[in-house]
């Protein structure tokens, strides 16, 4: 995932600890859009960690389709 182009926008609603991140990953031949929203996590750090893990799994799926992983 290092070195790949991405564009994203995130948002935070602190009173209810909601974290949202939407982006486009420009994987060669298989670019994709992804939006993840987390609400109810014990902390924004926990939500951020979960979102990173989901993003990595998604990237690996699309990269495998191109033979890049």
pLDDT tens sequence across 12-28: 887 877 889 999 988 88
Compute the distance between CA of residue 60 and CA of residue 23 in angstroms, rounded to an integer: 16
Q: Where are the alpha helices (DSSP H) in 1-69?
A: 44-66
Compute the distance between CA of residue 7 and CA of residue 37 in angstroms, rounded to an integer: 17
**In the chain, what are the domain boundaries?**
6-66
Taking only the tens place, the pLDDT of each residue in 41-58 is 787 788 889 988 999 999
Residue 31 has pLDDT above 80, yes or no: yes
pTM over 0.75: no
Q: What is the pLDDT of residue 3?
A: 65
Residue 65 has pLDDT above 90, yes or no: no
């Amino acid at each position: 995932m290092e070195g790949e182009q991405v564009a994203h926008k995130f948002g935070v609603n602190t009173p209810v600890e909601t974290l949202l991140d939407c982006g486009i990953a420009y994987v060669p031949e298989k670019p994709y859009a992804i939006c993840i929203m987390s609400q109810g996590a014990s902390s924004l750090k926990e939500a951020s960690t979960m979102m990173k893990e989901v993003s990595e799994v998604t990237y690996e799926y699309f990269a495998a389709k191109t033979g890049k992983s």
